[in-house]
Amino acid sequence: MHDDDHTDTDTDTDDRRPARGSLDAASHLADCRQPTTILVLGQLDPAWADWLGEVELCWTPDGQSLLRGRLDQAALYGILDSLRDRGVRLLSVNVGH
């Protein structure tokens, strides 16, 4: 093999890989649970409490459903995806308050 035919793949992969410090920071943020409140339109059936798992289900005086809990980003997006898939209309999402 000639030197002209050699391809340096190590250089290619190193340039595209994020710095180790940024991976550690991203992992730390993903593991953080923050107080989260999700307000949805209408009263969800109490049976949803079992499905929601780590989130408390309660109702507001004006007839809306309130989901509260300490969630990390993965859990929050999982709940939001499931609510969307079931046609539930979001009124608000507050994280860290």
Phi, psi of 70 (to 5 degrees): -100, 110
Q: What is the pLDDT of residue 41?
A: 97
Note down the domain range covering 34.
3-95
CB 30 within 8 Å of CB 73:
yes
Report field, pTM of the whole predicted structure over 0.85: no
Paired residues of 69 in beta bridges = 36
Q: What is the pLDDT of residue 19?
A: 52
- Per-residue pLDDT tens, the chain, 97 aa: give them: 555 555 444 444 445 554 555 455 555 555 688 999 999 999 999 988 888 878 999 999 999 999 999 999 999 999 999 999 999 999 999 998 6
Kindly report the CATH number assigned to the domain that includes residue 29: 3.30.70
The total number of structural domains that make up the chain: 1
SS (H, E, C) the chain: CCHHHCCCHHHHHHHHCCCHHHHHHHHHHHHCCEEEEEEECCCCCCCHHHHHCCCEEEECCCCCEEEEEEECHHHHHHHHHHHHHCCCCEEEEEECC
Instruction: Give the max Cα distance, the chain.
Output: 78
